[in-house]
Chains A and B, each alone.
Chain A
Amino acid sequence: MLAELASVDEDRRMELVVGWTMDGIADMRGVVLEAQSRGGGDASEELEGLGARRASVERFAAEKGVGTRRWKLDEKKLADEHGRGDEYIAFRLTHHFVHGSTMAVSQRYSKGDDDTVLVGGHAAALEVWAPDAGLFGAISLLHACRAVCRTFEWPEPPELAGLLARTEQLATERRSAQRLPD
């Protein structure tokens, strides 16, 4: 997101943020309506608040002459456009940990010497994932730093390029030695 926001002019940037905000408001409205339909009580006040927020965003957009079309993120497209397409698969893998798939759960145990399975503690696959978690996050954050510097026209700190190169070098070494765990 931050890379996309940094790559466009100010009007388009405002439009994207407005679209992102509108998407969030629409989603929250759905949450509130669902809560109400599930017996959560009258949600008129919450809906009124969301309506007021939406109206405020629409007024802002009108003042600035930008659109209010919702911005639905497409991570694959954005990753390809901003030179991070090769990390998209890592992003897909993180979904498994977020949603608790059998792949993620299988990382919590390992086979013993005999016909047993050891669960948790030292049997969990931690070493294999730890460097990737650090590197994946580090690259994302460094790109975020670069993006905000570009957006707000701050001079990019000289250390940034070096840290990014160091991170990418370690990530390249990992990828060349890595395979998916059994």
Chain B
Amino acid sequence: MPLESKYAELVTDVSRFAGTVGGGELVEGPRTNAEIMGLFDRCKSTFGAVRMLLHYDFVHEAVLLGRPLFTE
């Protein structure tokens, strides 16, 4: 695996942490909040894919997903 353990552990910790943010929260307010929550959920899911890709050595594909994560 090309990812050193200190980076792999960080990626795992961040992914697990992010999974706890907003989980089960009831968000009220205007319907645009659904778009914001959807965007955040997409970020979490995309990072999950980065983590998985790095685990299986699809490194360049993981780099590719950094672009939407930065934008969003």
> What is the total number of residues of chain A having a CB less than 8 Å from a CB of chain B?
58
- B residues near A98, Cβ cutoff 8 Å: 64, 67
A1-32 toward B: CB 8 Å interface, digit per residue (1/0)? 11001000010011001101100000000000
Main secondary structure of the interface of A (DSSP, over half): helix
Produce 1/0 per residue, A115-159, CB < 8 A to B. 000000000101101111111111011101101110110100101
Considering only residues 60-104 of chain A, those with a C-beta below 8 Å from chain B are: 60, 64, 73, 75, 79, 84, 87, 90-91, 93-95, 97-98, 104
Q: Which residues of A contact B51 (CB under 8 A)?
A: 134
Whether B59 and A17, one on each chain, are in contact in the complex, defined by CB atoms closer than 8 angstroms, is: no
For B36, the chain A residues whose CB sits under 8 A away are: 2, 5, 13, 17, 148, 151
- Name B15's closest neighbour in chain A (CB-CB): A141
**Which residue in A1, A127, A166 is a CB contact (below 8 Å) of B2?**
A127
In the bound complex, do residue B40 and residue A144 qualify as a contact, i.e. CB atoms below 8 Å apart? yes
Q: Would A157 and B66 count as touching, CB distance under 8 A?
A: no
Contacting pair B70 A141 (CB below 8 A): no
Contacts between the two chains (Cβ within 8 Å), count: 166
Q: Is the CB of B18 within 8 A of A145?
A: yes
State in angstroms the CA–CA spacing of A104 and B66 once bound together. 14
Chain B residues whose C-beta falls within 8 Å of the C-beta of A152 in the assembled complex: 22, 25, 27, 33
Q: Are B47 and A137 in contact (CB under 8 A)?
A: yes
Q: Residue B60 contacts which of A5, A104, A137 (CB distance < 8 angstroms)? A: A104
20 A-B contacts (beta carbon < 8 Å): A10-B30, A14-B30, A14-B32, A17-B36, A20-B35, A91-B66, A94-B66, A98-B64, A126-B57, A129-B60, A129-B62, A133-B54, A133-B65, A134-B50, A136-B66, A137-B50, A141-B15, A144-B18, A151-B36, A167-B10
